[in-house]
Amino acid sequence: MVIGFAISVTCLAALLMDTGITIDPTAPSTLVFAAVCTLAASLRYVLRAPRSATQRVTRDIAETFGLFTAISLMGAVATYPIAAETTGTIDPILQQIDAALHFDWLAWYQVVADHRALQILGTAAYQSIYISPAVILGYCAWADKRAAGRGLIASFWVAAIIALVLFRFWPAYGPCATLLHGPLPYQTESGLYEAQLIPLLRSHALHDVDLGALRGLVEAPSFHTASAILFIAAAWPFARIRKPILIVNMAMLLSTPVEGTHYLADMIAGATVAIVAILIVTVVRRRLPGTPARPVAAR
């Protein structure tokens, strides 16, 4: 995992250098993320041989939360230099797929726009992408399921790489930008960020990335959908968290078309990415010597 992390950092640095995009090392957001990652790495090293259950839990939380945060941050940053190298959009193709599937995004959006309660619930569900991994990784640390926590991180990592590669060839602005015209009756959580930022990056008018205001620019495949599948799969073996994680992430999936401004085609692609990532990690882990088998259902 250390080697893979180093390769990811190197690739991200190369992408940023190639496109002339920089991250201000003295910006408050950069310093905060650097402090968090440094603290996590320090705790992981100091407690590498824990002498109590509390130290073990602290070590595992520092390791898994630190890695998950770093991977999420790198993935979001990577969308900027990758977007700068893209051309055109595949929105017409995605719209054709939705039409073939009889999915009416405008109708879905209008229902939410007409009901304030759905807007509040949808926003909360969409933002739960930050809550589910914290619950799962925290439970794995508490229950001494270190391998399961690492499995989620590895699957998330692989899914992010696949999504970024596909984004390079499948840029899209999303249905909010392409199907709605004029003032928006309801401003979704993701809004028009892809349509606003991608042209700026392509024209090299945007050179600085603020870590405190990052916006993931991957429209297709939907990474919220991929994440929901990954979180459900990771929590499924554990009876104590299975049901709440399932409910929360099903709600997130229902909110994704509007709040994430995603076509149904995006979501199908995102689910496929998650399944492929899980299969890849499962196969690799089975081939590694000394790797424990996947945990059975636990309380």
Give 293's contacts (C-beta < 8 A, 6+ positions apart): none
**Contact criterion met (CB below 8 Å) for 122 and 252:** no
Asked whether residue 34 is assigned to any structural domain, the reply reads yes
Asked whether residue 296 is assigned to any structural domain, the reply reads no
Q: How far apart are CA 221 and CA 190, in angstroms?
A: 15
Which structural domain, as residue segments, surrounds residue 240?
A: 2-287
Asked whether residue 255 is assigned to any structural domain, the reply reads yes
Which of 93, 149, 139 has the alpha carbon at shortest distance from 244? 139
Asked whether residue 225 is assigned to any structural domain, the reply reads yes
Asked whether residue 277 is assigned to any structural domain, the reply reads yes
* pLDDT at residue 123 in the model: 95
Structural domains of the chain, count: 1
Asked whether residue 297 is assigned to any structural domain, the reply reads no
User: pTM of the prediction?
Assistant: 0.93
Please name the amino acid found at residue 21. Answer: I
**Contact criterion met (CB below 8 Å) for 75 and 159:** no
Asked whether residue 9 is assigned to any structural domain, the reply reads yes
**Contact criterion met (CB below 8 Å) for 147 and 281:** no
Q: Which residue has the tokens 């994704």?
A: 256
Which of 173, 171, 176 has the alpha carbon at shortest distance from 108? 176
Tokens of 48: 């590498």
Asked whether residue 263 is assigned to any structural domain, the reply reads yes
**Contact criterion met (CB below 8 Å) for 12 and 74:** yes
Per-residue pLDDT tens digits of the chain, which is 299 residues long? 667 778 888 999 999 999 999 998 888 999 999 999 999 999 999 999 999 999 999 999 999 999 999 999 999 999 999 999 999 999 999 999 999 999 999 999 999 999 999 999 999 999 999 999 999 999 999 999 999 999 999 999 999 999 999 999 999 999 999 999 888 899 998 888 889 999 999 999 988 888 888 888 899 999 999 999 999 999 999 999 999 999 999 999 999 999 999 999 999 999 999 999 999 999 998 887 765 545 444 55
